[in-house]
Amino acid sequence: MRQEALKPSDLSRAEKHGKRQDESSQKRRVRDEEPLVYGTLDLTAARARHMEGVKQSGRTTCIHALVQFPTDLIDGTDKAQQQQMLDHAVTFLNEFHGGDAVSAARLDRDETGKHTVDAFLLPKYDFRYKDGRVVKKASVSKFSKEQARARYVKTDKKTGNATIDRKTGKPIPRDDTRAQGSALQDAFFEYLRDEMQLSEAMPPERKKFTAKDRVEPEEYGLRKDRERLHDNARALSKADRVARERNKRQAAQNEA
């Protein structure tokens, strides 16, 4: 599960990609199957409808969530299963982000993998003023921070013990971006296990480094191709060495 904040230009590019109007999407196509769609492929229009009458804090246009379901636990070749993955992704993201977040989502069926859902969202909530007025607002991190604070507390780097607030005497909760990301991964694991009944789902492993480690499918495929080439080269080199040694032994036997 990954989330990325998008600007207007990013959302436009994502819309072209979903509609297969850019070069990278054409390269990924391996079959002619239409995507499964929640809402619409018109992401800009969906975002505008989602934000009607809503006040927003911050400049992020929306969040792009990439939801990867476990390929070894879900077959994914059946269209009904693919629809379930799309529905579960939307349900999970809405629940995690306060109940009203997702404006559009899709599961591509023309690529090699069929276990990934692209969702576009901006969490909304009711804000109540002191005079009783209620307005609808949107926030990128309001619910992510709440999830993080409910799960994690600050700890002392040397001892590992929880950091205590001197005024309240209680542990200080964490809501930094790393804690928000961890909360997202933990919540998704719990959803796979409890709601989707995938008992063999494994809990997330904590990253040792904060640097981004995601690569695009094209780059990932290129790396795998290079690994295969290197493996083939090593195998050929070994076979050549074995053959030369065998020929030497045979030549020595013939001479004898």
> What range does the domain containing 245 cover?
215-256
Q: What is the pLDDT of residue 128?
A: 92
Of 12-16, 43-47, 111-115, the poorest mean pLDDT is in 111-115
Q: Which of 140, 170, 190 is at the close of a domain? A: 140
pTM to 2 decimal places: 0.78
Choose one of 95, 113, 140: the last residue of a domain: 140
Q: Say if residue 1 is exposed, middle or buried (CB neighbours under 10 Å; 0-12, 13-18, 19+).
A: buried
Position 249 confidence tier, pLDDT thresholds 50, 70, 90: confident
Distance CA 62, CA 105 (A): 12
Q: Tell me what the mean pLDDT of segment 177-183 comes to.
A: 94
**Domains of the chain: total:** 2
The pLDDT of residue 52 is 95
pLDDT (0 to 100) of residue 227: 67
How far is residue 192's CA from residue 173's CA, in Å, rounded to a whole number? Answer: 26
CA distances, 212 to each of 3, 216, 231 (Å): 12, 12, 27
Sorting pLDDT into bands at 50, 70 and 90, what band is 210?
low
Residue 244, pLDDT above cutoff 90: no
CATH classification of the domain holding 68? 3.30.930.30
Looking at the fold, whether 132 and 223 belong to one and the same domain comes out as no
Which parts of 8-78 fold into alpha helices (H)?
A: 8-18, 23-28, 43-50
Neighbours of 86 (CB within 10 A): 22
Amino acid (one-letter) located at 170: K
Chain centroid offset of residue 208 CA: 18
Percent of the chain scored above 90 by pLDDT?
Answer: 64
Domain assignment of residue 188, yes or no: no
> How would residue 42 be classed by pLDDT, with cut points 50, 70 and 90?
very high
Q: Is the pLDDT of residue 166 over 90?
A: no
Of 77, 107, 140, the residue that ends a domain is 140
Give the mean model confidence (pLDDT) for residues 143-158. Answer: 92
Q: How far apart are CA 163 and CA 254, in angstroms?
A: 80
